[in-house]
């Protein structure tokens, strides 16, 4: 969440910064709630002081043998008024918090203004798209021909936007995840971490999925009746990885914390329809290798560049053409202050499609999670910065490999770096 002090003292400036991303801050409502909160808080403090003073006087009057019934009655009345004031104060604080939890992060100054993906800025390109001597097939045709992609059986099991993988295609999918993990651990210094894919509401609030995006999540209840507790299937391993430091003060010597996890991800809202409904572009269940870094604030921008390069290296080692896009203010995610998207070339669409998104969230998530570090210069706890990125989405990477490495007969060449994970297999035949 945003700094509450800024919302109180610099709300006009905050509103202007948020307007860059198309968000209209309800300044009047927040100011009205804050004005009432301050008033009620002053009143309750005055009542508390008055009750304390009168309570002391009761003892003094009793020592003198004087009647204290009137004073005691007055104290009782103050107690009732104080209780009512405290209840109102709690309600006002809850109202203010409910608003602040739905306010997105402020974009970094380096982020270009814009309304949607059309205004994103291309930063670089790597690799040249392959010139095919035949009309390239899409991953669905290739996967079906190889007997490795089965949406029909998945639909019988779970409904639309699920896929069953078999044989060499399933193995290629696993090989990609293993390759990514090994690369990020052995060369990029991330610590492999296995995390739960069921988390509680606090974890979802900590990284910004709740309350704003509850309709996009799969949820379940554990237990029955009053003892039942709600759990959410993670939309990304960012949620459990980042929350490993919630309600924690991290020692400076531990920073940066770099973690990587391969996990299943679940999204109830899997995007728009059209051609993306076909195949594995947008699934309710998918697999992703996720990178998360917990950083001291001064180094978070450098960590953002480092993380993005780690994701780019995956695509470069696989020989997949891609481009890096700096997202504009209108296309950034809720918690991000700056985001790079990596888009991989898909021959069947003659277009670049997102395969990784790397974001610096600043202290936005840290405030929600109460995640801090102890600054050795001051000895005081301060908010950490959190970063997350796909390193990369395994299913989309599978699609890119299948399409970019296809041959005219429908066979698929296996990239050299993946062959050790495929028991030396160099071609997937139909």
**Residue 53: per-residue pLDDT:** 85
- Alpha-carbon distance of 428 to 246, in angstroms, equals 45
Positive/negative CA dihedral, 404, 405, 406, 408: positive
Q: Can you read off the two tokens belonging to residue 220? A: 């379940």
Binding residues for ATP: 267-269, 354-357
Please give the mean pLDDT across all residues of the chain: 95
Look at the block and give the residue holding tokens 């021909």. 145
- To the nearest 10 degrees (0 to 180), the angle between helices 167-186 and 300-317 is 140
**Residue 369: per-residue pLDDT:** 98
Look at the block and give the residue holding tokens 């402020």. 106
- Alpha-carbon distance of 159 to 365, in angstroms, equals 34
- For the chain, the helix, strand and coil percentages under 3-state DSSP, each to the nearest 5: 45, 20, 35
**Residue 309: per-residue pLDDT:** 98
Active site residue ranges: 267, 282, 354, 357, 396
Q: What is the dihedral of CA 418, 322, 237, 166, to 10 degrees?
A: -40
**Residue 270: per-residue pLDDT:** 53
Alpha helix (H) ranges present in 281-393?
Answer: 300-317, 364-369
Binding residues for L-serine: 236-238, 290, 390
Nearest CA among 261, 267, 320, 318 for reference residue 289: 261
List per-residue pLDDT tens for the chain, 430 residues long. 999 999 999 999 999 999 999 999 999 999 999 999 999 999 999 998 888 888 888 878 777 787 877 877 888 888 888 999 999 999 999 999 999 999 999 999 999 999 999 999 999 999 999 999 999 999 999 999 999 999 999 999 999 999 999 999 999 999 999 999 999 999 999 999 999 999 999 999 999 999 999 999 999 987 877 767 899 999 999 999 999 999 999 999 999 999 999 999 999 975 555 556 688 999 999 999 999 999 999 999 999 999 999 999 999 999 999 999 999 999 999 999 999 999 999 999 999 999 999 999 999 999 999 999 999 999 999 999 999 999 999 999 999 999 999 999 999 999 999 999 999 999 999 9
Task: Encode 227-244: b = buried (16+ Cβ within 10 Å), e = exposed.
Answer: eeeebbbbbbbbbbbbbb
**Residue 101: per-residue pLDDT:** 96
Look at the block and give the residue holding tokens 């109102």. 88
- pLDDT tens per residue across span 122-143: 999 999 999 999 999 999 999 9
Nearest CA among 316, 304, 298, 321 for reference residue 376: 298
**Residue 227: per-residue pLDDT:** 67
**Residue 239: per-residue pLDDT:** 98
Half-sphere exposure of 19 (CA within 13 A, CB side): 8
Binding residues: 236-238, 267-269, 290, 354-357, 390
| Close Cβ partners of 295 (under 8 Å, ≥ 6 residues apart) | 255, 256, 257, 303, 384, 385, 386, 387
Q: What is the dihedral of CA 182, 183, 186, 189, to 10 degrees?
A: -120
Q: What is the CA radius of gyration of the chain?
A: 27
- pLDDT tens per residue across span 188-242: 999 999 999 999 999 999 999 999 999 999 999 878 777 678 999 999 999 999 9
**Residue 278: per-residue pLDDT:** 80
Number of CB atoms found within 10 A of residue 420's CB = 12
């Amino acid at each position: 969440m945003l700094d509450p002090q800024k919302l109180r003292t610099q709300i006009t400036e905050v509103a202007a910064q948020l307007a860059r991303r198309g968000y209209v801050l309800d300044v009047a409502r927040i100011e009205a709630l804050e004005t009432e909160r301050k008033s009620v808080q002053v009143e309750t403090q005055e009542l508390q002081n008055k009750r304390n003073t009168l309570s002391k006087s009761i003892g003094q009057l009793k020592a003198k043998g004087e009647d204290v019934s009137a004073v005691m009655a007055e104290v009782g009345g103050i107690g009732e008024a104080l209780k009512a004031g405290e209840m109102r104060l709690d309600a006002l604080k809850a109202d203010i918090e409910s608003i602040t939890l739905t306010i997105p992060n402020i974009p970094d100054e380096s982020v270009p203004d814009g309304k949607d993906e059309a205004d994103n800025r291309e930063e670089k390109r790597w690799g040249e798209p392959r010139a095919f001597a035949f009309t390239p097939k899409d991953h669905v045709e290739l996967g079906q021909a190889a007997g490795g992609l089965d949406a029909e059986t998945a639909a019988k099991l779970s409904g639309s936007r699920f896929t069953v993988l078999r044989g060499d295609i399933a193995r290629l999918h696993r090989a990609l995840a293993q390759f990514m993990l090994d690369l990020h651990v052995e060369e990029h210094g991330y610590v492999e971490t296995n995390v739960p894919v069921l988390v509680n509401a606090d974890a979802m609030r900590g990284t910004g999925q709740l309350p704003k995006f509850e309709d996009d999540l799969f949820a379940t209840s554990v237990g029955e009746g009053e003892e039942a507790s709600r759990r959410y299937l993670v939309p990304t391993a960012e949620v459990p990885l980042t929350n490993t430091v919630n309600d924690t003060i991290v020692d400076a010597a531990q920073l940066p914390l770099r973690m990587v996890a391969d996990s299943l991800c679940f999204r109830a809202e899997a995007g728009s329809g059209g051609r993306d409904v076909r195949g594995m572009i947008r699934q309710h269940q998918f697999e992703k290798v996720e990178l998360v870094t917990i950083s001291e604030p001064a180094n978070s921008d450098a960590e953002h560049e480092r993380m993005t390069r780690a994701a780019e290296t995956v695509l470069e080692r696989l020989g997949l053409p891609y481009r890096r896009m700096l997202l504009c203010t209108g296309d950034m995610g809720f918690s991000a202050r700056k985001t790079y998207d990596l888009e991989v070339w898909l021959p069947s669409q003659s277009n670049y499609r997102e395969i990784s998104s790397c974001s610096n969230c600043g202290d936005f998530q840290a405030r929600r999670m109460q995640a801090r570090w102890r600054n050795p210069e001051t000895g005081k706890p301060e908010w950490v910065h959190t970063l997350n990125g796909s390193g990369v989405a395994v299913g989309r990477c599978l699609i890119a490999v299948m399409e970019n490495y296809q041959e005219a007969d429908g066979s698929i060449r296996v990239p050299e770096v993946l062959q050790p994970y495929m028991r030396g297999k160099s071609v997937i035949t139909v």
